[in-house]
Amino acid sequence: MKLLISRRLPDAVMAEAAARFDLTDRAGDRPMSKTECIAALTEQDVVIPTLGDGFNAEVFAAVAEPRCKLLANFGVGYNHIDVAAAGAAGVAVTNTPCAVTDATADIALTLILMTARRAGEGERMVRAGAWTGWHPTQMLGLHVTGKTVAIIGMGRIGQAIARRCHFGFGCRIVYANRSEKTLDFRAERLPLAEAMAAADIVVLGLSASAETHHFIDAEALSAMRSHAILVNIARGDVIDERALIAALQAGQIAGAGFDVYEFEPQVPDALKAMENVTLLPHLGTAALEVRENMGRMALENAIAFEEGRALPNPV
């Protein structure tokens, strides 16, 4: 069975894939072009795509009868794949949900602490040789312990973040979500505006979809407190970046931390210029063990397809 991996995965995963499939290891680390996506649907039996590989409705419309019958996505987010168009073309879609949960939650905590305690700003000061020594009122930030954290989108990752904040830092947890969640810790479900207004720290854990595009807009941001910070580890387009920049520039909120961006890898110059903003290069799952687990989960879906079994992680 012919398998295309759109961008090279860790060596152990590539070796396992090569041992099982007729493997095409695509060169380069950039997302697949429209032409490449069309060719993959035409020539391959299974494709393991990832972030930015645009399998949209236009691509599926260009292939009357796809040879490819499975897109085993490498990653939990699959907003780069039009699932409805794939289904109409007879192409199944899977993802790697459980493998990314803890690593992404850890990055959320990294961003919370870096932004609240001004760690990025402090490191830049030290590297620039501008630190003149300790004094009692230097770089005073937000104390995280005991604060109220609002989780917007209480899925697997949102719950993992909430647990870290609740059990690790004694935080009160509120959340906005389409449905009530049964949790092993105390948390209060609130409407979006009320959750954001109650919080010292707001964390976005929404999945990306047409419904969540710019879910956090100027109106939602206006509910936040002036000392509060916002962290996004979901997908870049769940927040209106222009509205957020305006809120930061006006002092409407105190700071923000990002691992994802609306038009990544492009990051607005306005954000890069702000000392109260922490910017990471999409590090959510960037640990070898995690990426190996993600790759093996994608392969498990491909193997199940090859063997005619039910797919472990259909979307």
- Please determine whether the domains at 2-95+287-306 and 101-279 fall in the same fold group of CATH: yes
CATH code reported for the domain at 101-279: 3.40.50.720
CB 41 within 8 A of CB 67: yes
Question: Given this model, what pLDDT does residue 209 score?
Answer: 84
Degrees (nearest 5) of the Cα angle 295, 21, 311? 55
Instruction: Say if residues 123 and 100 touch (Cβ distance below 8 Å).
Output: no
65 is annotated as an active-site residue: no
Rounding to the nearest 10 degrees, give the CA dihedral for residues 11, 14, 15, 18.
-160
240: enclosing H helix or E strand: none
DSSP secondary structure of 70-138: EEE-SSS--TTB-HHHHHHTT-EEE--TGGGHHHHHHHHHHHHHHHHTTHHHHHHHHHTT------TTT
Cα–Cα distance measured from residue 271 to residue 230, given in angstroms and rounded to the nearest whole number: 13
In the chain, where are the structural domains located?
A: 2-95+287-306, 101-279
Active site residue 262: no
CB atoms within 10 A of CB 15: 12
Single-letter residue type at 196? M
Q: What is the pTM of this model?
A: 0.91
Listed in sequence order, the residues at least 6 apart from 259 whose beta carbon sits closer than 8 Å to its beta carbon are: 107, 108, 111, 232, 233, 280, 281, 282, 283, 284
Q: Which of 163, 194, 214, 264 is catalytic?
A: 264
Q: Which one of 166, 235, 291, 296 is the catalytic residue? A: 235
**CATH number of the domain located at residue range(s) 2-95+287-306 in this protein:** 3.40.50.720
For residue 226, pLDDT over 90 is answered with yes
The Cα 67–Cα 315 span in angstroms is: 20
Give the count of beta carbons closer than 10 Å to the beta carbon of residue 171. Answer: 21
- pLDDT tens track for 7-34: 999 999 999 999 999 999 998 889 999 9
CA 184 → CA 159, 167, 175, 179, 198, distances in Å?
10, 11, 14, 16, 21
213 among known catalytic residues:
no
Sequence letter at residue 239: I
Per-residue pLDDT reduced to its tens digit, 169-213: 999 999 999 999 999 999 999 999 999 999 999 999 998 888 899
Sign of the CA dihedral running 121, 137, 134, 109 = negative
HSE at residue 74, side-chain half, CA atoms within 13 A, is: 28
| pLDDT tens digits for range 134-156 | 999 999 999 999 999 999 999 99
Q: Catalytic one among 214, 225, 242, 282?
A: 282
Q: Give the rounded percent of residues in the chain with a pLDDT score beyond 90.
A: 95
**What is the crossing angle of helices 11-20 and 288-306, to 10°?**
10
